[in-house]
A and B are shown apart, each in its own frame.
Chain A
Amino acid sequence: MNQAVIHLHPSGPLLALVGNPNCGKTALFNLLTGSRQKVANYAGVTVERKEGRLTTPGGKFLRVLDLPGAYSLYPRSPDERVTCDVLFGRASGEKRPDLIVCVVDATNLRRNLRLAMAVKRLGLPCIVALNMADLAERRGIKVVPEALAVELGMPVVSTVAIQSSGAEPLLALFDDPAIWCSMALTPPAQGMPTESDHLVVRRILQRLGLDDVIPHTPSDRIDGVVLHPVIGPIVLAVVLFLVFQAVFAWAEMPMTLIKTATASLSEVVGVVMPETWLRSLIVDGLIAGVGGVLVFLPQIVILYFFILFLEESGYLPRAAFLLDRLMGSVGLSGRSFIPLLSSFACAIPGIMAARSIANPRDRLVTIMIAPLMTCSARLPVYALLIGAFIPQRLVWGAFELQGLVLLVLYLAGVIGALAVAWLLKRFTAAGRQVRPLMMELPSYHLPTVRNIAIGIWQKVMIFMKRVGGIILILTILLWFLASFPAAPDGATGAAIEYSLAGMLGQALARVFEPIGFNWQISIALVPGMAAREVAVSALGTVYALSATGSDTAQALAPLIAQSWSLATALSLLVWYVFAPQCLSTLATVKRETGSWTMPLIMAGYLFALAYAASFITYRVALALGVG
Chain B
Amino acid sequence: MSATKNGISGATLDLAAIGHALTVHDVQAPPTSPEWARWLEEIGFIDGEYVMLMARGLPGGDPLVVRIGQSTFALRRAEAACVRVASVAQPNVEGCKA
Report yes or no: B63 in contact with A324, Cβ–Cβ below 8 A.
yes
Are A325 and B60 neighbours in the complex by a CB distance under 8 Å?
A: yes
Whether A436 lies near B36 (C-beta < 8 A) is yes
Task: State whether A72 and B57 are in contact (beta carbons under 8 Å apart), knowing that A325-B62, A325-B63 are contacts in the complex.
Answer: no
Q: Given the complex of chains A and B, what is the CA–CA distance between A327 and B44 in angstroms?
A: 26
- B56 (CB) vs chain A CBs: closest residue: A229
Q: What's the nearest-Cβ distance from chain B to residue A310, in Å?
A: 16
| Chain A neighbourhood of B44, CB < 8 A | 110-111
| A326 and chain B: residue at smallest CB distance | B59
Q: Which residues from chain A contact B76 at a C-beta distance below 8 Å?
A: 324, 434, 436-437
A437, B79: Cβ atoms closer than 8 Å: yes
Instruction: Let me know if B93 is at the binding interface, CB within 8 A.
Output: no
Is A325 in contact with B70, judged by CB distance below 8 angstroms? no
A50 within 8 A of B: no
Assuming A195-B46, A223-B55, is B39 touching A438 (CB within 8 A)?
yes
Chain B residue, CB-CB nearest to A219: B72
Q: Which of B38, B56, B70, B74 contacts A74 (CB 8 A)?
A: B38
* CB–CB B57/A229 < 8 A: yes
Q: Does B43 contact A (CB under 8 A)?
A: yes
Determine if A438 and B40 form an interchain contact, defined as CB atoms under 8 angstroms apart: yes
Nearest A residue to B44 by beta-carbon distance?
Answer: A111
Contact digits for A356-382, partner B, Cβ 8 Å, 1 yes 0 no: 000000000000000000000000000
Interface size class of B (residues with CB under 8 A): 35 or more
**Number of residues of chain A lying within 8 A (CB) of chain B:** 41
Q: Contact partner of B70 among A110, A223, A434, A439, CB < 8 A?
A: A110
Instruction: Encode B53-79 as 1/0 by CB contact (under 8 A) with A.
Output: 011111110110100011111111011
Is A440 an interface residue, CB under 8 A from the partner? yes
A220 to B36, CA, bound (A): 27
CB distance from B39 to the nearest CB of A (A): 6
Knowing A322-B57, A325-B57, the reply to whether A437 touches B63 (Cβ < 8 A) is: yes
CB neighbours (8 Å) of A440 from chain B are: 43, 71-74
Q: A438 to B60, Cβ gap below 8 A?
A: no
- Asked whether any CB of chain B lies closer than 8 Å to the CB of A5, the reply is no
Question: Interface readout for A329-341 with B: 1 if CB under 8 Å, 0 if not?
Answer: 0000010000000
In chain B, what residue has the closest Cβ to A73?
A: B42
Tell me the B1-52 residues at the A interface (CB within 8 Å).
33, 35-36, 38-44, 46-50
Name the 3 nearest CB pairs between A and B, nearest first.
Answer: A229-B58, A441-B72, A72-B42
Task: Name B's A-contacting residues (CB within 8 A).
Answer: 33, 35-36, 38-44, 46-50, 54-60, 62-63, 65, 69-76, 78-79
Query: Would you give 15 A-B contacts (Cβ < 8 Å), ordered by A?
Result: A71-B43, A74-B42, A111-B43, A194-B42, A202-B48, A214-B70, A223-B54, A437-B74, A437-B75, A438-B43, A440-B43, A440-B71, A441-B72, A442-B72, A443-B72
